[in-house]
Amino acid sequence: MKAFVTVALKKTVLDPQGKAVQAALAKLGHAAIRDVRQGKCFELDLAAGTNPAAARTEVERVAREVLTNPVIEEFSIRWDD
Amino acid sequence: MKAFVTVALKKTVLDPQGKAVQAALAKLGHAAIRDVRQGKCFELDLAAGTNPAAARTEVERVAREVLTNPVIEEFSIRWDD
């Protein structure tokens, strides 16, 4: 059972790293790409036999309390059972 | 039209950053999380009216040639039309 947690800066927060990537891509001729935002991904591998409901609660807690800085970041979770 | 490019170390490459996160989570009592791998995410926003087929080709090229180091990394693309 795997969880993919994506952590990205909130839309209202400036993302200089993404802006730099976008500027580099524009210089390389990729003008169709108007905006880039960069974030972090975590692939969490859960022990086999973990109760699915408990796992969901635990991963959401880990994402909220450990992986994300709630002041400037937001997270989303995708599951691969 | 948005593309989400995930870049992660190949499974055969050691991921010390992910190992550090896993060790920290284990210390915090999250023993069910057996393994963590960390990667980068890019959210690419394409200009409205871009030809979808051309956009797919362009984003795949950008992911392969610019965002990924093919020696140690691999990428995947998810689309949000």
**Interchain CB distance below 8 Å, A38 and B33:** no
Please determine, for residue A46, whether its predicted confidence score (pLDDT) is greater than 90: yes
Strands of A33-46's sheet in order across? A73-80, A2-9, A33-46, B33-46, B2-9, B73-80
Among B40, B47, B62, beta carbon nearest to A25: B62
Q: What DSSP designation does B53 have?
A: H
With contacts defined as CB-CB under 8 Å, which chain B residues touch A18?
42-43
Please compute the mean of the pLDDT values over residues A46-66 and round it to a whole number: 93
**Interchain CB distance below 8 Å, B66 and A24:** yes
Cβ–Cβ contact B35 with A under 8 A: yes
Q: Give residue B15's pLDDT.
A: 96
pTM of the model: 0.89
Mutate to test the interface with B, among A9, A30, A74, A80 (most CBs of B within 10 A): A30
Q: pLDDT tens digits for B33-73?
A: 999 999 999 999 999 888 999 999 999 999 999 999 999 99
Return the CATH number at A45.
3.30.1280.10
Cβ–Cβ contact A57 with B under 8 A: no
Q: pLDDT tens digits for B62-80?
A: 999 999 999 999 999 999 8
Task: State how many domains chain B has.
Answer: 1
Strand partners, A6: A41, A76
Q: Which residues form the domain of A55?
A: 2-80
Cβ–Cβ contact B50 with A under 8 A: yes
User: Beta-strand (E) ranges in chain B?
Assistant: 2-9, 33-46, 73-80
Q: Give residue A50's pLDDT.
A: 87
Structure tokens at A39: 């974030």
